[in-house]
Amino acid sequence: MRIKRGVTTQRRHRKILKLTSGMQHARQRSFRLAKQAVIRALQYAYRDRRTKKRDLRSLWISRINAAARVNGTNYSDFMASLKKANIELDRKTLAELAVHEPNVFSAVVKQAK
């Protein structure tokens, strides 16, 4: 007896096409283009999960530097004085303070000096 593979193929296609919901035009309808789009999208997602960490750290450093300059110092001097004063706040927390609680941030700068 001959085994037909239609059900398996349809399942595989449906799985890929489900991942392309939200894409436009033939990428959403054509299996061949959908498969290419999904592979590329997953590659970008994998890469950018790592890039995101770098980008956020860079953003935090920029915010800390701007707030530190308002308080009369620069980023590198501020971070060095934090280390000497044994104040263990990470960059994410410092950036949040700089943006949302400028008074607290200036108190931290004074404490570090």
The enclosing domain of 22 has a CATH number of 1.10.1900.20
Phi/psi-derived region of residue 72, left when phi > 0, alpha when psi is between -120 and 50, beta in every other case: left
Residue 56 maps to a domain? yes
Q: Could you give the number of structural domains in the chain? A: 1
pLDDT classification of 2: cutoffs 50, 70, 90: confident
Residue 1 included in any domain: no
- 8 A C-beta contact, residue 37 and residue 55: no
Where in the sequence is the domain holding 102, given as residue range(s)? 6-112
Task: Give the predicted TM-score (pTM) of the model.
Answer: 0.79
100 within some domain = yes
Q: What pLDDT digit, counting tens, does each position of 25-54 carry?
A: 999 999 999 999 999 999 999 999 999 999
Please indicate, yes or no, if residue 23 is contained in any of the structural domains: yes
